[in-house]
Amino acid sequence: MVLGSGLIARAFNSFLHDDRVLVFASGVSNSSSATPADYAREKELLLAQEGISARLVYFSTCSLHDPTLHAAGYIRHKRLMEGLIREQFADHLIIRLPNVVGHTPNPYTLTNFLRDRIMAGEPFHVQAKACRYLMDVDTVALGCPPMMTRPEYRGTTIDACLDKPVPVPQLVKAMEQLLNRQAVTTEIEAGSCYHVDNTAFKQAWSAHAGLPWPGPDQWVDVLRKYYGGASGTE
């Protein structure tokens, strides 16, 4: 069963009619400007699932580890949701995702935001010290399902990301090259390049995915895959 209709929900369409799992992928779509009402809706929808016999699979964020975002509303909300799940759903799996890249009309994903600002020639700030973990939605769809039904992952929280974060200034440069446009940016001394321990996810990938672990520069190929034609919206 799948709750949601966005990029993450579509990645798990294979679970639509699987009553062993409830994929909760109906969260806040704009982490930077969500309102208290947006957070309340997600919380109410979550609590409405109490008593289900299926395993609840909830998607949180690796940004919980970013010290510069500790007090951000979105991060506080995610911590609250994780706590509720641990208290109310004995059979659960919390998967913390990085910035996921894929075809989506959502203008609030990191890479769609960058594409739109660059293509429109609109100025934006770049945090000089910031890094972001990126992952292809197809990689998410390959790496997560084995954990979603196996008993050993019951009641666990998994940070699902690749090994190396991408410095945001480097990410902007890569997008400029793909789009053949120069970004109008102001670099500010801010941000954090934090580490996420992905050991559990790598172990699950090695045991169940049956594919080589993605290399450190895979993010470049992922950007080319989705933005080589300046789209990312299909």
Distance CA 34, CA 225 (A): 29
What pLDDT score was predicted for residue 87? 97
Alpha carbons 189 and 194: distance in angstroms, whole number: 15
The alpha-helical segments, DSSP class H, found in 5-144 are 7-11, 36-47, 73-88, 110-120, 137-143
Mean pLDDT of 15-43: 88
pLDDT score of 209 more than 90: no
Q: What is the pLDDT of residue 27?
A: 81
Cβ pair 75, 64 in contact under 8 A: yes
Let me know if domain 2-227 sits in CATH 3.40.50.720.
yes
**Portion of the chain with pLDDT greater than 70, in percent:** 97
d(C-alpha 18, C-alpha 215), whole Å:
32
The predicted structure's pLDDT at residue 33: 66
Q: Kindly report the average pLDDT of the chain as a whole number.
A: 93
Phi, psi torsion values for 106, nearest 5 degrees: -65, 115
CB 63 within 8 A of CB 75: yes
d(CA 74, CA 215): 30
Strands (E), the chain: 2-3, 21-24, 55-61, 92-97, 99-101, 124-127, 131-132, 134-136, 156-159, 166-167, 185-188
Condensed to tens digits (0 to 9), the pLDDT of residues 116-162 reads 999 999 999 999 999 999 999 999 999 999 999 999 999 999 999 99
**Where are the chain's structural domains?**
2-227
According to the model, what pLDDT value does residue 60 have? 97
Whether 187 has a pLDDT exceeding 60, the answer reads yes
Q: Which two tokens stand for residue 55?
A: 């395993």
Alpha-carbon span 170 to 176, nearest angstrom:
10
Q: What is the pLDDT of residue 35?
A: 84
pTM of the shown model: 0.94
**Is residue 26 scored above 70 in pLDDT?**
yes
* Residue partners of 203: CB distance under 8 A and separation at least 6: none
Weakest mean pLDDT among 26-40, 77-91, 179-193: 26-40
Q: What is the pLDDT of residue 230?
A: 58
| Mean pLDDT of the region 100-129 | 96
Cα–Cα distance measured from residue 69 to residue 21, given in angstroms and rounded to the nearest whole number:
31
Query: CB–CB of 101/135 below 8 Å?
Result: yes
Please tell me the predicted confidence (pLDDT) of residue 233. 52
